[in-house]
């Protein structure tokens, strides 16, 4: 796997730009900060306007966690946000392993605090949390760039987990595309082969790929990662493994079909990609079968279907998204007459409508923030295929609710679904 390497320039962080401060960088892995960089700043979470607390440095995580504000953000990550990353991971690496490693890893703790504070800012609308988030994001980026000077000494699992958290930070602070420094750092890690097993490094890889897929689907472009056969997942050994397998297949389809410079598929190539997806679908255990319960959601325009596990939903979301892209990329078998073209277009419309409806129905029936977060990419790409105005309105309204719960910037997706102001239905 490869991503576009960074240009070697240090990124300008928003806190420094806003207050016209020069960025300083950690020179060595074991230093706290370069001279001139404040280790502490006044805390906006102070209970009294006349009492100032401090933002503890994460250089000594155990000491930092003695601070109440830090501990609360840390616990918020464990209780609420870690599940976003353990969506397809029955071993729960981001909930059970990452917090333990963060007690000894300053970069990982800073990334957790930055993401947790940003989430609290978005969901609670308190500006004080944004200041904390930017402080620890700035600290994380400094540490990350310093570490990449000596890639061989990096704790790969912890570093990749931190990159995933920082990427989420940038997404929920509405900097979806401003991830150049994370791409550059990831490219250094990607130069070292990742053996996909059941460890933290593998969990980080799958999360990074899912985040890459989400942004690619929203922006309708290829991934930053170049997937190859050597990075393909092993044959599924347990239920949740099927989610990783279809993630890889969807990533390959996105890169082949949505990249700006990609050529149209020839019939042989299209059949091969479709055969891989069909083979995977036929191997799914019966536990992935959806359950139909009429009337499950009152006054809904969508069918009442649901699944047992969160990874069942995310797996089916990726399958339907991959199928939709393949139908769009299907080459014509032969030149078509006008009436044949009309029939062909109507057939395509029905297929796309079906896959979009399945994606939205499964998301609507799932009372799960991790499912919603992972569904934003498929919904952004596929939901415009909904022809029914009531479905589009219902989906836009639900997206707004999910955005408030998760802190995710869903307005662009919801606005694309909303009908014109003079629409009737």
User: Is residue 222 assigned to a domain?
Assistant: yes
pLDDT (0 to 100) of residue 425: 39
Three-state SS annotation for the chain = CCCCCCCCCCCCCHHHHHHCCCCCCCCCCCCCCCCCCCCCCECCCCCCCCCCCECCCCCCHHHHCCCHHHHHHHHHHHHHHHHHHCCCCCCCHHHHHHHHHHCCCHHHHHHHHHHHHHHHHHHHCCHHHHHHHHHHHHHHHHHHHHHHHHHHHCCHHHHHHHHHHHHHHHHHCCCCCCCHHHHHHHHHHHCCCCCCCCCHHHHHHHHHHHHHHHHHHHHCCCCCCCCCHHHCCCCCCCCCHHHHHHHHHHHHHHHHHHCCCCCCCCHHHHHHHHHHHHHHHHCCCHHHCCEECCCCCCCCCCCCEECCCHHHHHHHHHHHHHHHHHHHHCCCCCCCCHHHHHHHHHHHHHHHHHHHHHHHHHHHCCCCHHHHHHHHHHHHHHHHHCCCHHHHHHHHHHHHHHHHHHCCCCHHHHHHHCCCCCCCC
CB contact set of 199 (below 8 Å; sequence gap of 6+): 93, 157
Q: Residue 26: is its pLDDT beyond 70?
A: no
**141-to-12, 17, 145, 299, 397 alpha-carbon distances in Å:** 10, 15, 6, 47, 36
User: Is residue 352 assigned to a domain?
Assistant: yes
Report the mean per-residue pLDDT for the chain: 83
Contact 141, 179 (CB under 8 A): no
User: Is residue 17 assigned to a domain?
Assistant: no
User: Is residue 340 assigned to a domain?
Assistant: yes
User: Is residue 36 assigned to a domain?
Assistant: no
User: Is residue 254 assigned to a domain?
Assistant: yes
Question: Regarding predicted confidence, which is higher, 18 or 299?
Answer: 299
pTM of the model: 0.85
Q: Residue 171: is its pLDDT beyond 70?
A: yes
pLDDT (0 to 100) of residue 186: 66
For the segment 29-82, what is each residue's pLDDT rounded down to a tens digit? 333 333 233 333 434 443 333 333 468 999 999 999 999 999 999 999 999 999
Structural domain of residue 206, as residue ranges? 61-417
User: Is residue 349 assigned to a domain?
Assistant: yes
Q: How many domains does the chain have?
A: 1
pLDDT (0 to 100) of residue 179: 56
Q: How do strand 291-292 and strand 305-306 relate by DSSP bridges?
A: antiparallel
Lowest mean pLDDT: which of 86-100, 167-181, 234-248, 367-381? 167-181
User: Is residue 41 assigned to a domain?
Assistant: no
């Amino acid at each position: 796997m490869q991503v576009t390497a960074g240009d070697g320039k240090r990124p300008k962080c928003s806190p420094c730009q806003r207050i016209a401060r020069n960025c300083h960088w950690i020179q060595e892995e074991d230093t706290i900060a370069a001279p001139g960089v404040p280790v502490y700043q006044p805390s906006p979470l102070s209970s009294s306007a006349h009492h100032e607390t401090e933002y503890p440095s994460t250089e000594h995580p155990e000491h930092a966690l003695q601070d109440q504000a830090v501990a609360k953000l840390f616990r918020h990550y464990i209780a609420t946000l870690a599940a976003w990353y353990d969506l397809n991971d029955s071993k729960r690496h981001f909930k059970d392993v990452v917090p333990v490693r963060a007690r000894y890893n300053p970069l990982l703790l800073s990334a957790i605090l930055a993401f947790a504070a940003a989430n609290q800012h978005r969901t609670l609308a308190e500006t004080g949390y944004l200041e904390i988030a930017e402080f620890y994001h700035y600290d994380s980026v400094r540490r990350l760039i310093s570490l990449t000077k000596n890639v061989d000494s990096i704790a790969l699992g912890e570093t990749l987990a931190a990159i995933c958290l920082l990427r989420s930070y940038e997404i929920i602070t509405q900097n979806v595309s401003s991830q150049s420094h994370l791409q550059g750092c990831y490219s250094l890690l990607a130069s070292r082969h990742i053996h996909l097993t059941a460890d933290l490094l593998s969990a980080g890889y799958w999360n990074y790929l899912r985040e890459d897929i989400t942004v690619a689907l929203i922006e309708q472009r290829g991934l930053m990662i170049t997937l190859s056969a050597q990075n393909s997942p092993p044959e599924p050994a347990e239920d949740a493994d099927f989610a990783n397998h279809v993630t890889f297949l969807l990533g390959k389809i996105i890169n082949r079909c949505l990249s700006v410079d990609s050529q149209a598929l020839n019939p042989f190539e299209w059949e091969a990609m479709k055969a891989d997806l069909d083979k995977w679908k036929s191997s799914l255990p019966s536990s992935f079968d959806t359950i139909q319960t009429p009337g499950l959601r009152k006054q809904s325009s969508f069918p009442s279907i649901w699944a047992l596990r969160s990874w069942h939903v995310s797996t089916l979301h990726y399958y339907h998204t991959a199928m939709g892209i393949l139908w769009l990329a299907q080459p014509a078998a032969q030149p078509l007459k006008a009436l044949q073209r009309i029939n062909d277009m109507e057939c395509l419309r029905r297929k796309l409508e079906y896959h979009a409806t399945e994606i939205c129905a499964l998301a609507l029936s799932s009372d799960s923030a991790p499912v919603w977060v992972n569904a934003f990419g498929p919904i952004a790409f596929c939901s415009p295929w909904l022809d029914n105005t009531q479905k589009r309105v219902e989906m836009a309204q639900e997206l707004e609710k999910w955005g408030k719960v998760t802190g995710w910037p869903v307005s662009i997706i919801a606005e694309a679904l909303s009908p014109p102001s003079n629409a009737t239905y």
